């Protein structure tokens, strides 16, 4: 159950990233598996007190992937309801700088690097898949 005291604004605030790396076959994106929800998703997490949206995005992506990253441009956001509370998640494009090695834990047990078309097939949430469809469409223009 979500702790409503944590969200004095009445809104859950979170941030994450679309973490990209170059591979011989083209660009790949990182997606993570969360055993608690048995889902495949983009790395993201809740803001800590006093933290900016960008600080949250960088911290969460690093914590969930073990990668050193470089921030790029804003990718977009989404809003949905969790236990009756609105949740706002903002995402940034990020570039892999160094893979420090993924370490599974109870929150994130798997990390996959996939081309966008394969990531879309694996990902659990249509609201996140749309970021990859939009990005792919923009790259083709």
* pLDDT tens digits, one per residue of 99-136: 988 999 999 999 999 999 999 999 999 989 999 886 54
Look at the pTM and tell me if it is higher than 0.75: yes
Structural domains of the chain, ranges and CATH numbers in brackets:
4-140 (3.90.79.10)
Distances (CA, A) of 70 to 19, 57, 97: 9, 11, 6
What was the pLDDT predicted at 8? 58
What was the pLDDT predicted at 93? 97
- CB-based contacts of 116: which residues, under 8 Å, 6+ apart? 27, 29, 132, 135, 136
What was the pLDDT predicted at 137? 47
């Amino acid at each position: 159950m979500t702790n409503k005291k944590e969200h004095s604004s009445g809104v859950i605030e979170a941030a994450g990233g679309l973490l990209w790396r170059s591979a011989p076959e083209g660009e790949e994106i990182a997606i993570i598996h969360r055993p608690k929800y048995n889902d495949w998703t983009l790395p993201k997490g809740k803001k800590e007190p006093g933290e900016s949206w960008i600080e949250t995005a960088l911290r969460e992506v690093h914590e969930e992937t073990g990668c050193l990253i470089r921030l790029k441009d804003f990718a977009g956001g989404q809003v949905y309801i969790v236990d009756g509370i609105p949740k706002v998640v903002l995402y940034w494009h990020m570039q892999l700088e160094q893979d420090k090695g993924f370490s599974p834990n109870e929150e994130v047990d798997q990390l996959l690097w996939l081309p966008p078309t394969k990531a879309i097939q694996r990902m659990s949430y249509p609201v996140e898949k749309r970021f990859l469809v939009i990005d792919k469409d923009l790259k083709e223009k």
